[in-house]
């Protein structure tokens, strides 16, 4: 397995860089010592991820390896430090930055799940895609053609801003979990990437043939090519 070119690993690398820049530069209400503590733990994650990237192990060996467990332990250390302090959401930028942090830690934590999708290096495997049930749909207060929806798996919930007019409460659709975006004052945490699905896909990753792959691919490529 060419781990140095695997989209799942490359994507985690980019998301980790974004996360570190949020902590370093976005002036969140953390004390300086706390910021340095988070960054120190994040450097451990980076080191462990680079070990994985250049391991060139077969997938079955990688999934059983100490290096993957060390990476996961390092990610949990970051999460532990962050959880010591309740975030104070004071403005739109702070709202977005905490959404970035939530996204980064979730994406880094679920690398193993995406590796378990198989050896094939498919670009859509870079991100988490999950079926969610739409819980509510409302008009965006500042955009006539946008809708703010709340959707969830039963364990996790997400705000998804969409221009899809026929999204309905109660239906199950797939969402692609992408870096959050601030859209006219509201944070969107994902993108709908399928037509309505059978209910059994709630909380599960649908097969690639049920996903709008061109849209998902475009979004992933944009993240990989972007400046952290």
User: Percentage of the chain surpassing pLDDT 70?
Assistant: 97
Q: Which domain holds residue 39?
A: 3-121
157 and 210 in one domain?
yes
Look up the CATH number of the domain holding residue 65. 1.20.1440.150
Cα 221 from chain centre: 14
Amino acid 107: pLDDT: 99
- In the listed set 92, 121, 150, which residue is the last one of a domain according to the structure? 121
How many structural domains is the chain composed of? 2
**Mean pLDDT estimate for the chain:** 95
For residue 31, the model assigns a pLDDT of: 58
Sheet of 157-162: strand order equals 157-162, 147-152, 129-139, 172-183, 186-192
The residue out of 102, 121, 140 marking a domain boundary is 121
Average confidence (pLDDT) over 100-116? 98
CATH number of the domain enclosing 150: 2.40.50.140
Q: What is the pLDDT of residue 32?
A: 64
Indicate if 97 and 141 belong to the same structural domain. no
Residues 24 and 114 both lie in one domain: yes
Query: Both 178 and 200 in a single domain?
Result: yes
Q: Which of 121, 136, 169 is the last residue of a domain?
A: 121
pLDDT, tens digit, 9 for 90 and up, residues 52-69: 999 999 999 999 999 999
Q: How confident is the model at residue 14 (pLDDT cuts 50, 70, 90)?
A: very high
């Amino acid at each position: 397995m060419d781990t140095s070119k695997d989209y799942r690993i490359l994507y985690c690398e980019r998301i980790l860089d974004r996360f570190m820049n949020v902590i370093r530069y976005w002036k969140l209400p953390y004390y300086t010592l706390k910021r340095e503590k988070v960054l120190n733990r994040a450097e451990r994650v980076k080191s462990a991820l680079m070990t994985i990237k250049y391991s060139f192990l077969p997938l079955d060996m990688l999934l059983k390896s100490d290096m993957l467990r060390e990476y996961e332990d390092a990610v949990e250390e970051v999460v532990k430090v962050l959880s010591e302090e309740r975030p104070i959401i004071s403005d739109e930028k702070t709202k977005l930055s905490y959404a970035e942090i939530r996204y980064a830690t979730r994406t880094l934590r679920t690398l193993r799940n995406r590796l378990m999708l198989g050896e094939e290096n498919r670009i859509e495997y870079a991100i988490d895609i999950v079926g969610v049930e739409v819980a509510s749909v409302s008009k965006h207060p500042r955009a006539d053609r946008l809708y703010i929806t709340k959707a969830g798996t039963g364990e996790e919930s997400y705000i998804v801003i969409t221009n899809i007019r026929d999204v309905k409460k109660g239906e199950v659709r797939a969402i692609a979990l992408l870096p959050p975006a601030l859209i006219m004052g509201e944070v969107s945490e994902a993108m709908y990437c399928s037509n309505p699905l059978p209910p059994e896909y709630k909380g599960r990753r649908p097969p690639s043939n049920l996903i709008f792959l061109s849209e998902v691919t475009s979004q992933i490529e944009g993240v990989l090519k972007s400046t952290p």
